[in-house]
A and B are shown apart, each in its own frame.
Chain A
Amino acid sequence: MSDKNDKSLLEKMEESQVWKSIIRSGIPRTRRQRMHAILGSVFLHLHPARLPKHAVKVGYTWCMGGLSFFLFVNLTITGILLMFYYRPTVEYAFTDIIDLSEQVPLGIMRELHRWAAHSMVLIVWLHMVRVFMTGSYKPPREFNWGIGVILMVLTMLLSFTGYLLPWDQLAIWAVTVGSNMARATPFLGNEGPGAALLAIGDINLIHVGSDVRFALLGGRFVGEATLLRFYVLHCIAIPFVAMIFMAVHFWRIRKDGGISGPL
């Protein structure tokens, strides 16, 4: 038999022009190929090619940072699928949600989205606890901890804006309770301390139709405009901001000396 026939299908595939054009270094078998597998992939090169041993242990990292990012991607995908069926209007929002579970094949997309969202809040919190308990915020990583705090706040705001979209009693009243607090913002809320000072003569600049709560809700109550506003915040605005902060977060992990560890 010739050598040629000894080759497995996989090996033959590996030699083809198509395969070589996609994965330059072949199936990662040697040390060099394995390093290249990480360096050559746009997705995997978030990682360094080599890590200290403790860094790959679940017991050290709890995998929480990675899971947070995984959940963000997961929520983006299920969110996009939900957007195909959902119309953010007072007229359709609620019935579209009902249809999601009753008419759409594989109707657990909303469940996946909601439970992943709750999980993400929890996992981001646990990530913070882990980073605190290992003292990983200490110099030179202090700036990245701050970025992480912002990402945690964004996670909660994402979850909060999404809470309104089903447009049921649970949704509007939870958001009413939450956004009522904005009314009391110092200087900028119509029931906030100092708001009365922002006046020209007798004309108050901050009133119920111009304060920060009005800006958030797009009206005096949680209504049609609020639904659209929260929809845009939830699907576009906050994810956009979060992605920028995530890029900085991941970049800075590498630039600040990679994962923390004992010296």
Chain B
Amino acid sequence: MNITALKSLIDALSAPTISFTILTVIFPFIFPPSDWFEKIHRKSGLWRIWTKLGGVIGMILITAFFVIGYFDPYFNKTLTKADNFPIVLMIYSMWFYIWLGMFKAYRNDIRLDQGLKPNEYNDPDDKVLVWPDLVYIEFIALILFQVFLIVWSIIVAAPIEEPANPAATPNPSKAPWYFLGLQEMLVYYDPWIAGVLLPTFIIVGLMAIPYVDINKKGDGYYSFRERRVGMFIFMYGWVVLWLFLIIIGTFFRGPNWNFFGPFEYWDIHKVEALTNVNLSELLWVKWFNQGLPSNILIREGLGFVITGLYLFILPVVLAKTYLKDMYAAYGPTRFVTIMMLGLVMLALPIKMYLRWVFNLQYIIAIPEWFFNI
């Protein structure tokens, strides 16, 4: 296959509709949360990702992507922006450390299966002295990191652009890279959700983890199988809904926040058809063939019903049926907290797909009150 074909393939695959779907579908097979997924995870050989070979192949693929990107005239521009270098570091380090954690977890899983203690275990009476055993490691670590920073600083100048000019808006205007996941969420949700509500839920949700996770296993050592559901949820949120959205926001979003493949030219005149419609418009205009009712609550009634069903009725139904055992084990407070956090987290991919499949703009659209969901 020649390089141009490969590039257009990558361009096509990296469209959020495709890349996000691939990641979401494949994710439970990479971090299997149940026996069924585990079985396929084993059979298909996906478990090899968390072996040494898998780690090296991952590194090679990432490097290949960046090397091809570096020599591509268009991707080069995004890639070599000084402030985008942290993203390159992010991709490498996140891959390496998540791989390392999983590698160790799998080794421990085998040991635990055999009834052995995890690798980290040592005789509690056999302690080492912090001076010198820890102090020198810390000293070396900080020296190495300082050297790395100095070399980086000498090679790459900190970015400085034209003096601030409030009259000239750059296109695209991007937030700092660590907030680009939030900026990417703005495509699917209004700012009050993407910029305020979801960040609040992320912070509260992270802080709630120790209080809602009643699984006592896997404390103080790397392990996967003992806490696979928790691991799966965290990794999906962290890798797909946070890191991957940052990558999309950095590398794949050009002028007017339009999607561009990594090897595509950022055409400022690229036109994306804006055919998004609200649920209320679909309901009244398209299905009932009449004008929108003037009463806002009637107009958006269906949206309120759906949102209410999703957030308030669904947890109750789940508690009575599919998640009965979980409800019994976790108790009402924990169960409701997990459901709320989980459903809000899931609401992001759900809204993405509603947008992609049905061109749905808002489920509830009340611009009069700035209340769009």
A170→B94 contact, CB < 8 A: no
Give the distance to chain A from B146, nearest Cβ to Cβ, in Å.
Answer: 7
Give the distance to chain A from B23, nearest Cβ to Cβ, in Å.
Answer: 18
Q: What residue of chain A has the Cβ atom nearest to residue B138's Cβ?
A: A66
A228 close to B (CB within 8 Å): no
B238→A129 contact, CB < 8 A: yes
A52 to B117, CA, bound (A): 15
Give the distance to chain A from B368, nearest Cβ to Cβ, in Å.
Answer: 9
B97→A130 contact, CB < 8 A: yes
B272 close to A (CB within 8 Å): no
A40 to B327, CA, bound (A): 51
B43 close to A (CB within 8 Å): no
Set B129, B220, B222: member contacting A34, Cβ < 8 A: B129
Complex interface: stretch among A5-13, A53-61, A232-240, A243-251: A53-61
Give the distance to chain A from B152, nearest Cβ to Cβ, in Å.
Answer: 5
Interface residues of A in 147-172 (CB under 8 A from B): 149-150, 153, 156, 159-160, 163, 166-172
B64 close to A (CB within 8 Å): no
Interface residues of B in 151-198 (CB under 8 A from A): 152-154, 156-166, 168-170, 173-179, 182-183, 190-192, 194-197
Interface residues of A in 47-91 (CB under 8 A from B): 47-60, 62-63, 66-67, 70-71, 74, 90
Knowing A28-B131, A134-B220, A185-B192, the reply to whether A169 touches B370 (Cβ < 8 A) is: no
Query: Looking at chain A's contact residues, is the secondary structure mostly helix, strand, loop, or mixed?
Result: helix
Knowing A35-B129, A223-B166, the reply to whether A185 touches B211 (Cβ < 8 A) is: no
A207 close to B (CB within 8 Å): no
A121 close to B (CB within 8 Å): yes
Neighbouring A residues of B196 by C-beta, 8 Å? 181-182, 184-186, 189, 192
B218→A135 contact, CB < 8 A: yes
A169→B369 contact, CB < 8 A: no
Neighbouring A residues of B169 by C-beta, 8 Å? 173
A242 close to B (CB within 8 Å): no
B357 close to A (CB within 8 Å): no
A150 to B145, CA, bound (A): 24
A187 to B219, CA, bound (A): 41
B35 close to A (CB within 8 Å): no
B213 close to A (CB within 8 Å): yes
A156→B178 contact, CB < 8 A: yes
B332 close to A (CB within 8 Å): no
B89 close to A (CB within 8 Å): yes
Give the distance to chain A from B236, nearest Cβ to Cβ, in Å.
Answer: 13
Number of chain B residues close to chain A: CB under 8 A: 94
A49→B129 contact, CB < 8 A: yes
A70→B174 contact, CB < 8 A: no
Neighbouring A residues of B154 by C-beta, 8 Å? 108, 111
A101 close to B (CB within 8 Å): yes
A123 to B166, CA, bound (A): 33
A138→B219 contact, CB < 8 A: yes
B129→A149 contact, CB < 8 A: no
| Residues 207-240 of chain B, each 1 if its beta carbon lies under 8 Å from chain A, else 0 | 1011101001111111100010001001000100
A130 to B120, CA, bound (A): 14
B210→A139 contact, CB < 8 A: yes
Q: What residue of chain A has the Cβ atom nearest to residue B217's Cβ?
A: A135
Name the residue in B90, B137, B162, B175 with the highest tally of chain A Cβ atoms < 10 Å from its Cβ. B175
Complex interface: stretch among B65-73, B98-106, B260-268, B293-301: B98-106
Set B85, B126, B176, B223: member contacting A163, Cβ < 8 A: B176
Give the distance to chain B from A190, nearest Cβ to Cβ, in Å.
Answer: 9
Neighbouring A residues of B369 by C-beta, 8 Å? 193-194, 196
Neighbouring B residues of A185 by C-beta, 8 Å? 192, 196
A115→B164 contact, CB < 8 A: no
Knowing A63-B141, A137-B209, A260-B219, the reply to whether A169 touches B164 (Cβ < 8 A) is: yes
Knowing A34-B129, A44-B135, A186-B197, the reply to whether A119 touches B86 (Cβ < 8 A) is: yes
B124 close to A (CB within 8 Å): yes
A112 close to B (CB within 8 Å): yes
Knowing A53-B127, A122-B89, the reply to whether A111 touches B156 (Cβ < 8 A) is: yes
Neighbouring A residues of B60 by C-beta, 8 Å? none
Neighbouring B residues of A180 by C-beta, 8 Å? 191, 195
Neighbouring B residues of A196 by C-beta, 8 Å? 369
Give the distance to chain B from A9, nearest Cβ to Cβ, in Å.
Answer: 22
- Interface residues, chain B, with chain A CB atoms under 8 Å away: 83, 85-86, 89-90, 93-94, 97-98, 100-102, 104-105, 117-118, 120-122, 124, 126-135, 137-138, 141-142, 145-146, 149-150, 152-154, 156-166, 168-170, 173-179, 182-183, 190-192, 194-197, 203, 206-207, 209-211, 213, 216-223, 227, 231, 234, 238, 366, 369-371
28 A-B contacts (beta carbon < 8 Å): A34-B131, A35-B129, A47-B134, A50-B128, A51-B134, A94-B163, A108-B150, A108-B154, A115-B149, A121-B86, A121-B178, A125-B94, A128-B206, A130-B101, A132-B209, A133-B102, A135-B219, A141-B210, A159-B178, A163-B176, A167-B164, A168-B163, A174-B175, A178-B179, A184-B192, A184-B196, A193-B371, A195-B370
* 3 cross-chain pairs, A with B, having the tightest CB-CB distances, nearest first: A181-B195, A142-B210, A111-B153
